[in-house]
Structure 1
Amino acid sequence: MELNTNIPLPLQRLYQWEQSRPSDIYMTQPMGGDIVQDYTWQRTAQEVRRMATYLKSLNLPADAKVGILSKNCSYWIMADLAIWMAGYVSVPLYPTLNAETVGKILEHSETKVLLIGKLDDWNMMKDGIPADMNCISTALSPDDVKVKYPQWDDIVAKNAPMQESPTRKHDELATIVYTSGSTGMPKGVMLSFGAMVAAGNGAADANGLTKDDRMLSYLPLAHVFERYAVEMTSLDKGFRLFFAESLDTFLKDLQRATPTMFISVPRLWLKFQAGVVGKLPQKKLDKLLKIPGVSFLIRKKILKGLGLNHVRLAASGSAPLSEDIINWYRRLGLELLEGYGMSENFAYSHIMKPGRVRVGYVGEPLPGVQQRISADGEIQIKSPGTMMGYYKEPEKTAETFTDDGFLKTGDRGEIDEMGRLKITGRTKEIFKTSKGKYVAPAPIENKLVSHSDVEMVCVAGVEQPQPYALLMLSEGTWPKRNTPEVRERLEKELPELIKSVNATLDPHEHLQFVVVVKDQWTIENAFLTPTMKMKRNVIEDQYKSQVEGWYAARKKVIFE
């Protein structure tokens, strides 16, 4: 797809806001305790210019790769801009990777310099960084990183700001984003400046964003979604960004930001709901919401307590939301919008439109996006945000596109009469039972996750007579999983859930049983990718030794 060269690039926007709004605050960064640091557009640009001077002084090759290993913070955004200003390519790394993967990505990308910023588990990844790697620390880095490597603030103080205002070209390589890597070595997705700004500008305009909006940045900037929906849109429109300090301070950080647009994942939406219901039982809340006048005050109080009282656009991604949770928030006045995208198109693909939400669907194509379903049911997309290809992998790049330039997503789907897309599963996730019948797990999982005690579901059953489901309990229920009260409730409710779900399925898809697992599937224990997607192969391997015993038990509900 031809790039629109009329859209200003990130550096052009930085120069624009530096000149026209120098004293306006762009970023607000918690520094620990009650200390908060504000970055005006002028300060942001000055620090970016000084860091760019330093990077240029290292005499790196013209297209050098510079890595960013950090949780979201002001330094992350400034590092990205400084790398581009110096003429280089940024390579973000997830702040939850293990040492082996860090090492592989740094080697594959040929990264020359690495910014090591805010991290929760430095010890897990430090062995993956070559001893001779040129690294930069920040005021938010782990203490031993700050001791070992030069600090951002010191570098900025010692280097003069770059006087010229370099620009890049729309068709130039801007960044290499390594995919989550649910299996094997992550692939390096090459994105041009033109693709990145087309996505950012398109999303900002489609959602009516302006310089007066506010967002809290906490989903990983190393992932394309936060990069396009937060970094690119904020630069495009010049609105204010806030950052979160930690999970413990998240509510305070959210209340400080009072965002007008808030994007989250199902786990956090569920956590918010559990917090509200913990203070105001659901039956009482239901009664209050039916009383005219009182319902308005209750909704306002709940949303204000969550820091969401100014939100006009709320979205969720990474996994499907149940109809129950969508309806619960809708009653509070928040219409949760779901979307769809991939690293390969910079997540610029689909989003639900207010007033046009259909539960189970991921939305309509964003401006400039074309969609179609192939003869074998695969979703194929052509987007302004489409990648240049996989770094150093021309054969895999060629395999990923059709002859006429559509991206093969690997997802199966359907399109309704209003153009809304429904994901019905992954092409590679479909498995065959011992009866020779094929089962698509995703639609069944989406039905099971509607139970309030269930957070994640993995449907399996390769070469078994019927499928079964592994259930991971929600964060609130999991600690109480062995109490008689919870056991009795689940033993009563889950068979009814199986029955109701099976009634909607073809006979060969009927679940024989469900297993309540004792584990919590997390990024840290490698059950989930850094973007919270299940690693099916890891999950199925974890429990495969028990599967035959589960079938032999002939129970509807099994507690691991």
Structure 2
Amino acid sequence: MERDPQEMATIVYTSGSTGQPKGVMHSFNTFRVVGEIYSKILGFDQDDRCLSYLPLAHIYERMGVEIPSCYAGFKVFFAESLQTFPADLRRARPTGFLSVPRLWTKFESAVDAKIPKKKQRILFRIPIIGKKVKHKILIQLGLQDCRFAATGSAPLPPTTVEWYRSLGLELLEGYGMSEDFGISHVTRPGESKIGYVGRPNEGVEARIETSGEIVIKSPAGMMGYFKDPEKTAESFTADGFFKTGDMGEYDAQGKLRITGRIKELFKTSKGKYVAPVPIENRLGRSSNVEVACVGGANQPATHALILLSEDLRAALDKGADRQSVEQELMQAMEETNAELDPHEHLQFLVVVKDVWTIENEFLTPTMKIKRNVIEKHYADRTDGWYSQQQKVIWE
């Protein structure tokens, strides 16, 4: 049955990383736009293969797998569970693979556990052996046939991007929201610039407001929020651009860099604003850190809540030396502070005991932190941590 392109086709709910999820209404025309744009950029055809593992209701999976597969007719494999994910990926051998930062860093950590970075650097420099080792790593990951790989939803540490490039896998970074069905910015093959999410997609208009906020008008823009006309009206400028809530800047080639989120800015007691995301990204470069959440509103300095990497948590449970971990965390904090303005300096790190997961609602389906949930959970302990005057605090 033929449908009116302007008829509502679906309601997609936002992840709720900064508050209550909203129902985003999209038309059938959005599906057409998504299929056309990404098929043109990435050259999908019926011989391609993708692995689906994120919730099918989420915008990232629908934009990256569902609609392109329907549009181009390629094969879609499904992961059975998180436990079987590595085997599922090797089974699928995708030619195109979209993933979130947390999984890209987990893959890297798993390889590092078998071949330490120092040994990798030595092996990679040997002409014939290096090529074989890199290919073997890609086979173990199930990515040996991957002609393009993408990352989105949150920033990926530059060192991780560079590591995948060293294997011969170019990670294409992109940027989009539920409100534009992910049709905002994307890095084209061969145009990667670390820390940037690429140029606007075809038909997308974007600009940076005087406040630093990115505003966008997309051909895949939403019809509005379900049963919330007031919120819909508040979300657009007078000339019809969607207010993303993100801050950014463009380089001379028109590539966008996300610098923070307006709602996440906070002031310390010194009266200066702090953007937590760039600090969290710097901490994330440490292999000991799985995810971080920076806070410090109305406090004399900032601090960070740290969830240690899965492997390190397991090692500590088996009796690994906690003091050496503290030393490494302090070093990571010092290296991070060296790159920050004085008012952004971290005073201490807190190693949390609870594991942040999607199930306990500390993380979104794409594994971004739910900042409001985390801040509320630890709020009654924050003042006490500041009074301890320690560099590393174990909860």
CA contact (8 A) 1:179 1:343 kept: yes
- What code does the residue aligned with 2:384 have? G
Match of 1:150? none
Identity %: 58
CA contact (8 A) 2:51 2:79 kept: yes
- Tell me whether 1:512 sits opposite 2:347 in the alignment: yes
Structure 1 unaligned residues grouped into runs of 5+: 1-165
Residue 319 to residue 478, structure 1, CA distance change in 2 (3 Å)? farther
Structure 2 unaligned residues grouped into runs of 5+: none
Q: CA deviation at 1:454?
A: 0.5
Match of 2:102? 267
Residue 489 to residue 359, structure 1, CA distance change in 2 (3 Å)? farther
Residue 337 to residue 481, structure 1, CA distance change in 2 (3 Å)? farther
Q: CA deviation at 1:438?
A: 1.2
Q: CA deviation at 1:311?
A: 0.2
CA contact (8 A) 1:411 1:426 kept: yes
CA contact (8 A) 1:206 1:366 kept: no
Match of 2:201? 366
Deviations 1:229-280 (A, max 9, x none): 1111111112121112222322332222211101111222222223323333
| 1:126-165 aligned within 5 A | none
Q: Distance in 2 between matches of 1:472 and 1:340?
A: 25
CA contact (8 A) 1:461 1:468 kept: yes
Match of 2:40? 205
Match of 1:250? 85
Q: Distance in 1 between matches of 2:288 and 2:353?
A: 14
TM-score of the superposition, structure 1-length normalised?
0.68
Q: Distance in 1 between matches of 2:171 and 2:19?
A: 33
Q: Distance in 1 between matches of 2:366 and 2:114?
A: 30
Match of 1:116? none
- What code does the residue aligned with 1:192 have? S
Q: Distance in 2 between matches of 1:317 and 1:478?
A: 26
Deviations 1:512-534 (A, max 9, x none): 11111112111111111223221
Residue 559 to residue 190, structure 1, CA distance change in 2 (3 Å)? same
Q: CA deviation at 1:353?
A: 2.5
Query: Could you say what the CA RMSD is over the residues aligned between the two structures, in angstroms?
Result: 1.7
Question: Alignment partner for residue 537 of structure 1, among 372, 376, 388?
Answer: 372
- What code does the residue aligned with 1:235 have? C
- What code does the residue aligned with 1:518 have? K
Match of 2:190? 355
Residue 217 to residue 357, structure 1, CA distance change in 2 (3 Å)? same
Q: Secondary structure at the match of 1:476?
A: helix
- Tell which has more relative contact order, 1 or 2 (C-alpha 8 A, sep 6+): 2
Q: Larger C-alpha radius of gyration, 1 or 2?
A: 1
CA contact (8 A) 2:19 2:372 kept: no
- What code does the residue aligned with 1:293 have? I
Q: Distance in 2 between matches of 1:508 and 1:175?
A: 45
Q: Distance in 1 between matches of 2:244 and 2:164?
A: 31
Q: Distance in 2 between matches of 1:170 and 1:295?
A: 52
- What code does the residue aligned with 1:533 have? K
- Tell me whether 1:436 sits opposite 2:271 in the alignment: yes
Deviations 1:387-419 (A, max 9, x none): 011111111111111111111001111111111
- What code does the residue aligned with 1:282 have? K
Q: CA deviation at 1:471?
A: 1.1
CA contact (8 A) 1:469 1:511 kept: yes
Question: Alignment partner for residue 381 of structure 2, among 546, 549, 557?
Answer: 546
CA contact (8 A) 1:200 1:229 kept: no
Larger deviation, residues 363-372 vs 395-404: 363-372
Deviations 1:466-506 (A, max 9, x none): 11111111222122346664523332222222222222222
TM-score of the superposition, structure 2-length normalised?
0.95
Question: Alignment partner for residue 147 of structure 2, among 309, 312, 319?
Answer: 312
- The count of corresponding residues between Structure 1 and Structure 2 is 395
- What code does the residue aligned with 2:285 have? S
Q: CA deviation at 1:356?
A: 2.5
- Tell me whether 1:470 sits opposite 2:305 in the alignment: yes
